[in-house]
Structure 1
């Protein structure tokens, strides 16, 4: 009882910290957008881009919960228009359930599943797919309006085209990923799952889309962002360290897709050692050796731990480098948010591991990776050189 009560308090505190950080970031962006002198005609574009970022975050979180609840293979076909309406009566539900019964997940894992249980996982996957369609609408309709009204700056127009293409690619890649879990060449006791390679590609493209949208949103909203003209060697060193940190945070988040795809979080549930060993015996059990990096659950978990440690160390180093510098208030806030979120994220990761990947903690850990990426992008933008835009 004491352990359960402690865990609940810790979870509440973590969620409160994440929500407070997100709210503070939003207030800073809005207030400074007004102070920075961004033209009124562009401010709406910036708000739209930030809104698209929020929609992408929702899609990533929903996708993570869908994977955690093993709901992703419940919808066995994909139609751009026909798939918009879910079953509405008992007969349609039974027909949908019969389709699901023809595929490996039901045959080898969920033979005893009831119709009501199927409805729950179906609605989870349905919500994820519909949210993805909403992201496309929220992006496409305002983009068309702003473009026709001449409110999109010239430098931003090529990016909008790229973002639209990436968004379409993301949807197609999602279905390509699901298809990998609907086929199984031979009967196996293993749980049918989507390819971890396709899952990583799907998550990676979502993270890339989010990063690009957020960066462009910052450029529009925060016209005053950037380092001063009289740069010092210490400032340049901090900028380079922040760039490397941004890349490491992205790579660490991406490695989480392999952990999720292989259920690697359930392999060694101890910390800091793995079954009383710093380096487990089965780290390179597969041949050829390179396969262990992506297909061996032990190696995948080990790599994610290692990348998380490197990311935390890198962020701590950025904070140390920034401490003696006279940074602008916004940049100082970004540094502190990044450092604070790094420790929260590591705590979430350790908790997820020790308690055998509970859905709530695992979802919070994934959400934390997006916040960490957000703060690293924000700081990188604040430290970037000021460049005039046409």
Structure 2
């Protein structure tokens, strides 16, 4: 198929939108990227914390006093006795030693401390930049919104932990830890915060670039090419698919659904598991649940959902890559679309390997981090194709 060309931008053919509001300093972009990197790190640490079943080792939430870990044998024994009161110890870890408890305690403590560090790393510099007039009004307001989201993220994390400490869980036939609903909300909000941070950093750098006008005109010209608007919209849809696939992965983690049907591409005798609707079947369950709950609480259905979304996303990425060959994209967009294809192949490989090898911690942790890397690449691509206002 012939490559579609576009003309060299001409200022006389259209007018680039400009604004005269306070321009955000470029250092704010680097600060956003730094905070995004910290969020990436805490997602990775959180994944390992979940995989090592460390998340319920600290049974209280103390914002200030919780920053100090136990130091003496007496303090460690006190924390260990608290842990023994809850279902995870009674149902899963009743043979755990004090030294083993120390390991999972430090995993969760490190996760919480990193969360506090992120909050301070965002709020304190943000206040400084705002007070110095280094942010435009829109970026200042967005930063306030992100700060609120970070606070809400901490609250979601504690409610997630509380969901795994309920004594009613003692009556369950199996114990998976925290509620998959709270886990999905906690992980999903982290992905949203990360996305806002990354896109904001990209936006600040691009609108303050010396080539901002030329870049804006180049995208404006591309938008006149037949089919390019559809291609550009598709990049947003793929980023949404990546986010939904990662969100479904939280349900897989919450129900330990990766430990059923450890084969690919089949699930038992077919592509769809035979017990796909088991929780809604009155012949199987004494108290069948609605179909929507079956889709979110049946481990087999949850794994199928994740597989389906993953295959849909990867197919869409391949289709987008082939569609991109029709256009003469800017160099950054061409690099981004090629990177997206490569990262997708890596993520699919990690996902299948994690499944086939019964969810080993290194592979599973790499797969979770890979989802955030895939989201990063998809956001980078859609950003390179955005037509942003030029600030003067």
Q: Same fold (TM over 0.5)?
A: yes
> Are residue 284 (structure 1) and residue 268 (structure 2) matched?
no
Runs of at least 5 residues in structure 1 that lack an aligned partner in the other structure: 1-38
Counterpart-to-counterpart distance in 1, 2:232 and 2:51:
37
Tell me the SS of whatever aligns to 1:111. coil
Among residues 316, 319, 326, which one is paired with 1:317 in the alignment?
Answer: 319
> Are residue 240 (structure 1) and residue 240 (structure 2) matched?
no
Counterpart-to-counterpart distance in 2, 1:212 and 1:76:
31
> Are residue 153 (structure 1) and residue 144 (structure 2) matched?
no
Tell me the SS of whatever aligns to 2:313. helix
Counterpart-to-counterpart distance in 1, 2:366 and 2:385:
29
Structure 1 residues 240-259: Cα deviation after superposition (integer angstroms, max 9, x where no partner):
11111111011001110000
- Quick check: 1:284–1:299 contact (8 Å CA) kept in 2? yes
- What corresponds to 1:208 in structure 2? 192
- What corresponds to 1:31 in structure 2? none
Counterpart-to-counterpart distance in 2, 1:41 and 1:100:
48
Q: State the Cα distance separating 1:324 from its structure 2 match.
A: 2.3
- What corresponds to 1:13 in structure 2? none
> Are residue 270 (structure 1) and residue 270 (structure 2) matched?
no
- What corresponds to 1:164 in structure 2? 147
- Equivalent residues, number: 352
Structure 1 residues 140-181: Cα deviation after superposition (integer angstroms, max 9, x where no partner):
111011111110122211101100000000001100100000
Among residues 82, 86, 98, which one is paired with 1:115 in the alignment?
Answer: 98
Q: State the Cα distance separating 1:237 from its structure 2 match.
A: 1.6
Q: State the Cα distance separating 1:280 from its structure 2 match.
A: 1.4
Among residues 251, 255, 258, which one is paired with 1:258 in the alignment?
Answer: 251
Counterpart-to-counterpart distance in 1, 2:176 and 2:338:
43
- What corresponds to 1:190 in structure 2? 174
- What corresponds to 2:4 in structure 1? none
> Are residue 103 (structure 1) and residue 86 (structure 2) matched?
yes
Counterpart-to-counterpart distance in 2, 1:90 and 1:63:
27
Counterpart-to-counterpart distance in 2, 1:346 and 1:378:
20
What is the TM-score of this pair, normalised by structure 2? Answer: 0.87
- Quick check: 1:75–1:126 contact (8 Å CA) kept in 2? yes
Q: State the Cα distance separating 1:189 from its structure 2 match.
A: 3.8
Tell me the SS of whatever aligns to 1:270. coil
Tell me the SS of whatever aligns to 1:278. coil
Among residues 112, 130, 142, which one is paired with 2:125 in the alignment?
Answer: 142
- What corresponds to 1:228 in structure 2? 219
Counterpart-to-counterpart distance in 2, 1:134 and 1:40:
28
Higher relative contact order (CA 8 A, sep 6+): 2
Runs of at least 5 residues in structure 2 that lack an aligned partner in the other structure: 1-21, 281-289
Q: State the Cα distance separating 1:388 from its structure 2 match.
A: 3.1
Q: State the Cα distance separating 1:268 from its structure 2 match.
A: 0.6
Q: State the Cα distance separating 1:58 from its structure 2 match.
A: 0.7
- What corresponds to 2:304 in structure 1? 302
Rg larger for: 2
> Are residue 65 (structure 1) and residue 83 (structure 2) matched?
no
What is the TM-score of this pair, normalised by structure 1? Answer: 0.88
Structure 1 residues 14-66: Cα deviation after superposition (integer angstroms, max 9, x where no partner):
xxxxxxxxxxxxxxxxxxxxxxxxx9971110000000000000111111110
